[in-house]
Structure 1
Amino acid sequence: MRSVDLTRVTWRKSSYSNPDGGACIEVSDDLLSTADWRKSSYSNSDGGACLEFAANLPSLVPVRDSKDPSLGALLFTAASWNTFVDSVK
């Protein structure tokens, strides 16, 4: 399994970070720009409960709500995602 190279990722400080330097979170959308999003086959057809995921990123599986992709995505390691999927089958 290939690892993800984060050396060229553009990071920005989250608006939820503390301005005093504590509790800082940095986020990046760079990895998701190459994501090949697919809607889950379990999403219902009337537009509700829609989940999208991308399986084309090395060692990562981003998951997002297809109704509002601008909210961002949760990133799982491939191993964690496989464990999750196996447990809900």
Structure 2
Amino acid sequence: MSDWSTVLFRKSSRSSTNGGQCVEVGFRPGLVAVRDSKCPAGGLIVLPATTWAEALSALQTS
């Protein structure tokens, strides 16, 4: 797996600001990583960028 320690992660605009459920995403060429902002060292879900795009598209049409 790629080293994600230097990647800038962004918090989802849909995450709450009062300590609720927060998701962050980071991007590398061809890959997207998702993590819990409250526990960034807790692990990542790494997806191909195409899978990430398909998931976002499916959510937008739901």
Does TM-score exceed 0.5, indicating one fold? yes
Q: How many Å apart are 1:41 and its aligned residue? A: 0.4
TM-superposition CA deviations, 1:17-60 (whole Å, max 9, x none): xxxxxxxxxxx5x52112110000000111111000012x1100
Counting aligned pairs with the same residue, the percent is: 38
Counterparts of 2:16 and 2:59, CA distance in 1 = 17
Give the equivalent residue in structure 1 for 2:25. Answer: 53
Structure having the higher strand fraction is 2
**What stretches of structure 1 move > 4 A for 4+ residues in a row?**
none
Give the equivalent residue in structure 1 for 2:13. Answer: 41
Q: How many Å apart are 1:72 and its aligned residue? A: 1.0
Larger of the two Rg values belongs to structure: 1
Structure 2 unmatched runs, 5+:
none
How many correspondences in the alignment?
Answer: 60
Aligned-residue RMSD, C-alpha: 1.2
Structure 1 unmatched runs, 5+:
1-27
Letter in 1 for 2:18: D
Give the equivalent residue in structure 1 for 2:3. Answer: 31
